[in-house]
């Protein structure tokens, strides 16, 4: 049994269905408790997700206590939803020890069980950095912007394995709100920037080519691996394809190496809505 | 229940496994009898195919009567296997009325049931032509070469829906062997050339973009449809992707629009061999 966390607003329901369809298909021996923190989902939305997961997964909608956001800064374009994954230790049931957070713009293509079983060795979370791919561009900027003196990698917040017990001890909502308030003018990707700014030193780095493969960067992975990470390698090893960036594979105009694969999973997810 | 026919030698066992995996995955409500005419398959090969099909399909290995090939011309590079699909009416059980032949270099991505249910309206078979894609190149050549005066389309023999009752009445092995003997020097793709030369006028044409999509020709389909048959359309409508030509998607060096999709299905097929 694996605990999965997803957070979303209603616009991301279709990609979430695709992500969950791919998760079930590619971890065939597993069962899942899928914790959902979402705003504006209807009873029918929840029912359709439950139907998609059955019989190998259960949906666990999570109520967010109103009081949790007392003291949260309100800024234009920011919603409460941006804090959900950072506050998951406060929001998820107290008995939960470990959870794997997954963005909805993800396709799972191989088992995530090895990531889920990773020994966090005292760290709060495990995450991957995409800096190797963007070397010389993102890193210095982010270091400066986030005053991250220790120059840790800049972790992508789309895949986060969380030790909830450690987070309950160390993550304080007030710290997060304070950080957001103080840095409001320079936060580009608020949740990710806060994650790195506050907890970058307490994150275990994992291999992004396995656990958070940036689907825009096939050529770069191929190049930096001297040709080893070709399409056969990716399909045989990569567990999590992450469709980072503005262009999304569910858009009609999307073109990319993984376009056919993603759109095929869209079709598989749709079929769940209208079985034969 | 659908009857599927596959013919292969042992080199094509891995792609056959991929094709069957995709067939099961994309016709989820169906069960299959898979008739296999193959040379050199071991008991273990057959067992592994049975395991892949269970519980939704049964493997039906077919014995080819030795006497059937009395009178068949023997030419360099030709094997008996080349005749199997043409002689399926003679080789398959007499009670079988209909069968869908599928090449092993195929990926099924949507239900084939509508094709299977096609009314053949007196024709022997249904098949697709790729001529629209190769207009002006293949057709005149083939017409000349095969003395096909009626100028029918040149049908691709990779996907054939067969009315076995009609074929038992009209297809005579002696005709096939005679044709092969007479045209031995100009047959480029022997089975396909014989099919078109002898039975081209008795084949019902079906839409190749649905039932025998040439995976090399994404750009051509897109162009000839004025942009309508984009990747979303293909993933939503095309049932059979056919990896025609010399370059095959299971080769490491293969690059194409459907490379990730095919190689993912390779992985799914491998997983059947070593379930979790």
Q: What is the pLDDT of residues A221-251, one digit of tens each?
A: 999 999 999 999 999 999 999 999 899 999 9
Domain, as residue range, for A134: 2-141+154-178+203-273
pLDDT surpasses 50 at A150: no
Cβ(A84)–Cβ(A190) below 8 Å:
no
Asked whether residue A152 carries a pLDDT value surpassing 70, the answer given is no
CB B174 within 8 A of CB B194: no
For an interface test with B, which of A240, A259, A260 has the most B Cβ atoms less than 10 Å from its Cβ? A260
Q: Give the chain B residue nearest A28 (alpha carbons).
A: B276
Return the minimum-mean-pLDDT range out of A35-44, A130-139, B170-179, B224-233. Answer: A130-139
Query: What CATH number should be reported for the domain holding residue A52?
Result: 3.90.550.10
In the prediction, which pLDDT does A227 show? 95
- A271 CA to chain B: closest CA distance, Å? 9
Query: CA B50, CA B95: separation in Å to the nearest integer?
Result: 22
Contacts B258 to A, Cβ<8 Å? 260
Nearest to A109 among B28, B264, B276 (CB): B264
In angstroms, the CA B43 to CA B269 distance is: 19
Best of A231, A256, A275, A276 to disrupt the B interface (most B CBs within 10 Å) is A231
User: Is A99 contained in some domain?
Assistant: yes
pLDDT of residue B131: 63
- pLDDT at residue number A275: 60
User: Which residue is associated with the tokens 């016709």?
Assistant: B27
A55 upstream amide cis, omega within 30 of 0:
yes
Is the predicted pLDDT of residue A180 greater than 60, yes or no? yes
**How large a percentage of chain B has pLDDT more than 90?**
66
Q: Is the dihedral of CA A180, A183, A189, A193 positive or negative?
A: negative
Interior CA angle at B259 toward A256 and B56, to 5°?
120
* Closest residue in chain A to residue B229, using alpha carbons only: A252
Q: Which residues of B touch A56 (CB under 8 A)?
A: none
Q: What is the pLDDT of residues B65-100, one digit of tens each?
A: 888 888 888 766 667 777 888 999 999 999 999 999
Q: What is the mean pLDDT of chain A?
A: 88
For residue A151, pLDDT beyond 80:
no
- pLDDT band at A76, cuts 50/70/90? low
Residue of A123, A126, A81, A80 lying closest to A99 (CA atoms): A126
Judged by a CB distance cut-off of 8 A, whether residue B275 touches chain A is yes
Q: In what order do the strands lie in the sheet with A240-242?
A: A106-108, A240-242, A213-214
Assigned domain for B255 exists: yes
ipTM: 0.83
Q: How many CB atoms lie within 10 A of CB A177?
A: 18
The reported pLDDT for the residue numbered A149 is 45
Tally of CB atoms within 10 A around A221: 20
Which residues of chain B have a CB within 8 Å of the CB of A260?
Answer: 231, 234-235, 257-258, 260-261
Look at residue A46 and tell me whether its pLDDT is greater than 70.
yes
Going by C-alpha positions, the residue among B231, B233, B258 that lies closest to residue B244 is B258
The token duo for A196 is: 């790195």
Is B114 at the interface with chain A, CB within 8 A?
no
Chain A: give the shortest CA distance to residue B29, in Å: 6
- The number of C-alpha atoms within 13 Å of B239 and in the hemisphere containing its C-beta is 18
Residue A190 lies in a domain: no
CB atoms < 10 A from the CB of A137, how many? 10
B213/A180: higher pLDDT? B213
pLDDT above 90 covers what percent of chain A? 65
Is A189 domain-assigned? no
Q: How many residues does chain B have?
A: 276
Q: Is A127 part of any domain?
A: yes
CB contact under 8 A, A258 and B260: yes
CB pairs under 8 A between A and B: 68
The answer to whether residue A148 is domain-embedded is no
Residue of B nearest to A238 (CA): B264
Distance from CA of B48 to the nearest CA of A (A): 19
Q: Which residues contact A57 (CB under 8 A, 6 or more apart)?
A: A20, A24, A31, A32, A33, A34
Helix/strand/coil for B99: strand
Domain count along chain B = 1
Residues A260, B258 contacting (CB under 8 angstroms): yes
- Asked if the Cβ–Cβ distance from A271 to B236 is below 8 Å, we say no
Is residue B192 assigned to a domain?
Answer: no
In angstroms, rounded to a whole number, what is the distance separating the alpha carbons of residues B249 and B242?
10
Q: What is the pLDDT of residue B135?
A: 45
Q: Which of B25, B232, B263 sits opposite A235 (nearest CB)?
A: B263
pLDDT at A136 over 60: no
Judging contacts by C-beta atoms under 8 Å, the chain B residues touching residue A258 are: 260
Share of chain A above pLDDT 70, in %: 89
Question: Per residue in A195-227, pLDDT tens?
Answer: 999 999 999 999 999 999 999 999 999 999 999
- B11 shares contact with chain A (CB less than 8 Å): no
Give pLDDT, residue A229: 97
Looking at residue B182, its pLDDT comes to 85
pLDDT at A84 over 60: yes
Taking an 8 Å cut-off on Cβ atoms, the answer to whether A254 and B231 are in contact is yes
Q: Is B248 on the interface with A (CB under 8 A)?
A: no
Say if B78 falls within a structural domain. yes
DSSP structural state of residue B253 = T
Residues A129, A205: Cα–Cα separation, whole Å: 7
Does A95 have pLDDT greater than 90?
yes
């Amino acid at each position: 049994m694996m605990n999965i966390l997803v957070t979303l607003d209603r616009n991301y329901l279709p990609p979430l269905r695709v992500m969950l369809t791919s998760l079930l298909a590619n971890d065939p021996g597993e069962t899942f408790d899928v914790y959902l923190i979402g705003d504006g989902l209807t009873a029918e939305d929840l029912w359709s997700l439950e139907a998609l997961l059955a019989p190998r997964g259960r949906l666990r909608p999570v109520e967010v206590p109103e009081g949790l956001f007392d003291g949260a800064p309100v800024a234009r374009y920011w919603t409460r939803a941006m804090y959900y994954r950072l506050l998951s230790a406060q929001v998820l049931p107290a008995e939960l020890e470990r959870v794997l957070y997954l963005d909805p713009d993800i396709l799972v293509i191989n088992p995530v069980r090895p990531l889920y079983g990773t020994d966090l060795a005292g760290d709060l979370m495990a995450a991957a950095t995409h800096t190797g791919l963007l070397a010389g561009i993102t890193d210095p900027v982010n270091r400066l912007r986030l005053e991250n003196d220790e120059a840790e990698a800049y972790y992508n917040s789309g895949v986060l394995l969380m030790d909830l017990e450690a987070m309950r001890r160390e993550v304080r909502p007030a710290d997060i709100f304070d950080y957001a308030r103080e840095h409001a003018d320079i936060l580009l990707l608020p949740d990710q920037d806060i994650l790195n700014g506050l907890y970058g030193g307490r994150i275990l780095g994992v291999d992004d080519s396995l656990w958070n493969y940036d689907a825009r960067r096939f050529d770069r992975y191929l190049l930096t691996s001297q040709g080893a990470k070709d399409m056969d390698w990716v399909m045989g090893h990569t567990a999590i394809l992450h469709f980072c960036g503005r262009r999304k594979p569910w858009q009609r105009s999307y073109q990319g190496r993984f376009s056919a694969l993603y759109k095929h999973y869209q079709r598989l997810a749709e079929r769940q809505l209208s079985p034969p």
